[in-house]
């Protein structure tokens, strides 16, 4: 998803400390003061803070949903250590962060993985996503957590050419599986939720998991067991060890079980083994790294490349705590330095939010 709210134009940044190429930004590049990579809790708070400071920003995330780890890994778990919120679920926290940055109409580009960065002669950055978006930013704020999340794939070579047609790592549209012989693999919340949802549309539904114990919530496990007893779906203990797809059409799976292997017929496999995070291309941006994290100066959370900042879980410094509240603080300081790249000629005057009339008006307008 890409939303296209208009943003004010930023003036040119004149500082060009490490220009590495001279080509101008392309005409279709989205111009912004700060490009925030990552729509996790820290990226979302950074968008609010950018607005308060007077910076335009755009957020990009590889996932199809905002919220980072909070939504992908523990949406319904309570969080107790957010200042002034004694308890809320991770999902509620993300909803509140979205509400907080709403006054600034920040465009959020989802399903876009940031791949490359180049600094131009004018000091600004050209950032491209693998999906074809291009940004022209005065500064980059990496709030990329552990890196871009991607589904854990089947470790089978023959699965690769079948991806998207017979092998799936998510379900976009239940109707795609109507009347089909479908195998769902995995034992977590996602696998059980989708197995239960698909059983009503698929011609046949088999859940395959390596043991008869699940990490999904108890209520889903009970529902699944009742559905198996009612003959609405089948459950097999085992692991997918091979795909039989003559002429590129999936016909059967080899399931490895204690004591041997079994062949079962299947037209589609939906493998829901969870997500893996991968720092990916950011690791090749020439930033100083330590154990997969980006080294930063704790006075402003700037990386070894001036103009690129790292905040939240991706930042590395002595005694770094991977906590949401630490990321909020880091983002706030980083953006103050980012301002000097976007508006090098201007001195920013700090105003407490409680005395910020423009902010008060924006918040009031967005609440109407
Ligand atoms: C089970 C669990 C419970 C937790 N409980 C707490 C708690 O109680 N309190 C607390 O403070 N913390 C808790 N944490 C830690 C907390 O969730 C993290 O510190 C926090 O999510 C870090 O936020 P972030 O925005 O830095 O990164 P993330 O939440 O990881 O978000 C990063 C985002 O960046 C995106 N991204 C990465 N690379 C790219 C790229 N190249 N292009 C585009 N997008 C990219 C990712 O897709 C992701 O959405 C918990 C963590 C877990 C796993």
Residues 132 and 280 in one domain: yes
Note down the domain range covering 289: 30-149+275-367
Chain segment 287-337, per-residue pLDDT in tens: 999 988 999 999 999 999 999 999 999 999 999 999 999 999 999 999 999
Residue 23: the pLDDT is 66
| Residue ranges in the chain modelled with pLDDT below 70 | 1-23
Helices (H), ranges, the chain: 41-53, 68-73, 90-101, 189-198, 218-229, 324-342, 357-367
Which tokens hold the place of 248?
A: 């590129």
The per-residue pLDDT for range 134-143, each reduced to its tens digit, is: 999 999 999 9
What helix, strand, coil percent values describe the chain, rounded to 5? 30, 30, 40
Are 113 and 190 members of one domain?
no
Token pair listed for 238: 């085992």
Query: Strands 57-61 and 108-110: what pairing?
Result: parallel
Q: How many domains does the chain have?
A: 2
Distance from the CA of 301 to the center of ligand 1, in angstroms?
17
Alpha carbon distances (Å) from 64 to 18, 131, 281, 328, 347 = 33, 13, 19, 23, 38
Which pLDDT score, from 0 to 100, does residue 95 have? 98
Find the 207 Cα to ligand 1 centroid distance in Å.
Answer: 30
Mention every residue, 6+ apart, whose C-beta is less than 8 A from residue 190.
272, 274
- Per-residue pLDDT, 27: 81
Let me know if residue 257 belongs to a domain.
Answer: yes
Asked if 87 and 230 sit in the same domain, the reply is no
pLDDT of residue 276: 83
| Closest to 353 in 3D by CA, of 84, 48, 46, 147 | 48
| Cβ–Cβ < 8 Å for 64, 79 | no
Do 325 and 305 share a domain, yes or no? Answer: yes
Nearest CA to ligand 1 atom 10: 323
- Which residue's CA is the closest to the ligand 1 atom numbered 2? 74
What is the model's pLDDT at position 210? 96
The closest residue, in CA terms, to atom 14 on ligand 1 is 323
Residue at which a domain ends, from 226, 245, 271: 271
Q: From the CB of 9, is ligand 1 less than 6 Å away?
A: no
Checking phi first, is residue 84 left (phi over 0); if not, alpha (psi -120 to 50) or beta?
left
Mark whether 266 and 285 lie in a shared domain: no
Inside any domain, residue 122:
yes
pTM for this entry: 0.77
Q: Whose CA is nearest to atom 15 of ligand 1?
A: 323
* DSSP per-residue codes, 149-192: EEEPPPS-GGGGGGBTTTEESS-S-GGGGTT-EEEEE-SSHHHH
Give the CATH number of the domain where residue 189 resides. Answer: 3.50.50.60
Q: Which atom of ligand 1 is nearest to the CA of 78?
A: 8
Q: Are 35 and 144 found together in one domain?
A: yes
C-beta separation of 149 from 44 below 8 A:
no
């Amino acid at each position: 998803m890409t939303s296209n709210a208009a943003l004010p134009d930023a003036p040119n940044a004149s500082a060009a400390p490490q220009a590495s190429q001279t080509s101008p930004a392309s005409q279709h590049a989205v111009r912004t003061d700060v490009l925030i990579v990552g729509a996790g809790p820290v990226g979302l708070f950074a968008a609010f803070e950018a607005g308060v400071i007077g910076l335009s920003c755009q957020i990009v995330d590889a996932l199809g949903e905002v919220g980072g780890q909070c939504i992908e890994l523990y949406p319904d778990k309570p969080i107790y250590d957010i200042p002034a919120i004694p308890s809320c679920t991770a999902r509620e926290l993300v909803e509140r962060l979205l509400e907080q940055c709403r006054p600034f109409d920040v465009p959020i580009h989802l399903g876009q993985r940031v791949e490359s960065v180049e600094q131009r002669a004018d000091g600004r950055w050209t950032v491209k996503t693998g999906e074809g978006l291009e940004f022209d930013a005065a500064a980059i704020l990496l709030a990329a957590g552990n890196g871009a999340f991607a589904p854990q794939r089947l470790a089978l070579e023959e699965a690769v050419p079948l991806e998207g047609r017979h092998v799936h790592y998510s379900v976009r549209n239940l109707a795609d599986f109507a009347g089909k012989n479908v195998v769902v693999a995995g034992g977590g919340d996602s696998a059980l939720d989708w197995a239960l949802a698909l059983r009503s549309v698929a011609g046949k539904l088999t859940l395959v998991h390596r043991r008869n114990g699940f990490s999904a919530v108890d209520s889903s496990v009970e529902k699944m067991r009742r559905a198996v007893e009612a003959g609405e779906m089948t459950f097999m203990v085992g692991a997918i060890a091979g795909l039989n797809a003559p002429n590129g059409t999936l016909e059967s799976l080899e399931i490895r079980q204690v004591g041997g292997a079994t062949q079962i017929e299947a037209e589609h496999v939906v493998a829901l083994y969870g997500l893996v995070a991968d720092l990916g291309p950011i690791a090749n941006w020439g930033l100083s790294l330590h154990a997969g994290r980006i080294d930063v100066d704790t006075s402003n959370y700037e990386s070894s490349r001036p103009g690129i900042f790292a905040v939240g879980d991706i930042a590395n410094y002595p005694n770094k705590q991977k906590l949401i509240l630490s990321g909020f603080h880091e983002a706030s300081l980083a953006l103050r330095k980012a301002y000097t790249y976007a508006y090098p000629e201007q001195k920013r005057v700090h105003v407490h939010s409680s005395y910020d009339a423009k902010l008060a008006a924006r918040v009031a307008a967005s609440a109407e």
